[in-house]
């Protein structure tokens, strides 16, 4: 193989890996305590598409202070998913990097209501993350705090 062909393969591999490598050190990655301080969500590259961002519940408390490891997703509109534990539940999915450095085009699931919203999020400092769930053009935002 000529050097030029090897170089082209190397360039193609580097370009293909680019979005994943950029996302790996993104400031939204980490474990975040929700604004209500009743849950922690680990945000990382999605397993199914590493160019996107997903988030999974890693800790939580129920409305009466119970450990979320004992709770299931009872409000899920899909009856078959209502017995899934809250801890380990993916509640953030499909976010893509926007030109301003935030993440848009994703969805956030709210286990307390069983509703899923269009969402956006952006780092607002090294230890704060603004997360907004939207219905039509109206968005409700809250700030999460980094724990890891």
User: Which single residue is written with the structure tokens 């301080």?
Assistant: 37
Output the average pLDDT for the chain: 85
Helices (H), the chain: 3-24
Burial of 24 (0-12, 13-18, 19+ CB in 10 A): exposed
Rounded to an integer, what distance in angstroms lies between the CA atom of residue 103 and that of residue 120?
A: 6
- Residue 97's CB: how many other CB atoms inside 10 A? 18
Tell me the range of 8-12, 40-44, 136-140 where mean pLDDT is highest: 40-44
The mean pLDDT value for 77-101 works out to 94
pLDDT in tens, 131-144: 999 998 899 999 99
Q: What kind of fold does domain 3-146 have according to CATH?
A: Lipocalin (2.40.128)
CA 41 centroid distance within chain: 8
pLDDT of residue 148: 83
Nearest Cα residue to 54 out of 40, 43, 65, 67: 43
3-class DSSP state for residue 114?
coil
Statement: residue 24 has pLDDT above 80:
no
pLDDT band at 64 (very low <50, low <70, confident <90, very high): confident
């Amino acid at each position: 193989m000529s050097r030029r062909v090897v170089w082209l393969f190397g360039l193609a591999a580097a370009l293909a890996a680019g979005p994943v490598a950029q996302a790996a050190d993104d400031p939204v990655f980490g474990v975040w305590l929700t604004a209500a301080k009743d849950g922690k969500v680990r945000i990382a590259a999605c397993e199914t598409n590493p160019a996107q961002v997903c988030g999974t519940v890693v800790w939580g408390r129920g409305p009466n202070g119970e450990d979320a490891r004992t709770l299931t997703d009872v409000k899920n509109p899909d009856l078959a998913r209502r017995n899934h534990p809250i801890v380990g539940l993916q509640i953030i999915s499909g976010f893509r990097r926007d030109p301003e450095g935030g993440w848009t085009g994703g969805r956030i699931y709210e286990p307390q209501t069983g509703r899923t919203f269009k969402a956006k999020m952006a780092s607002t400092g090294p230890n704060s993350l603004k997360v907004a769930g939207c219905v039509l053009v109206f968005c409700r935002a809250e700030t999460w705090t980094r724990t890891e």
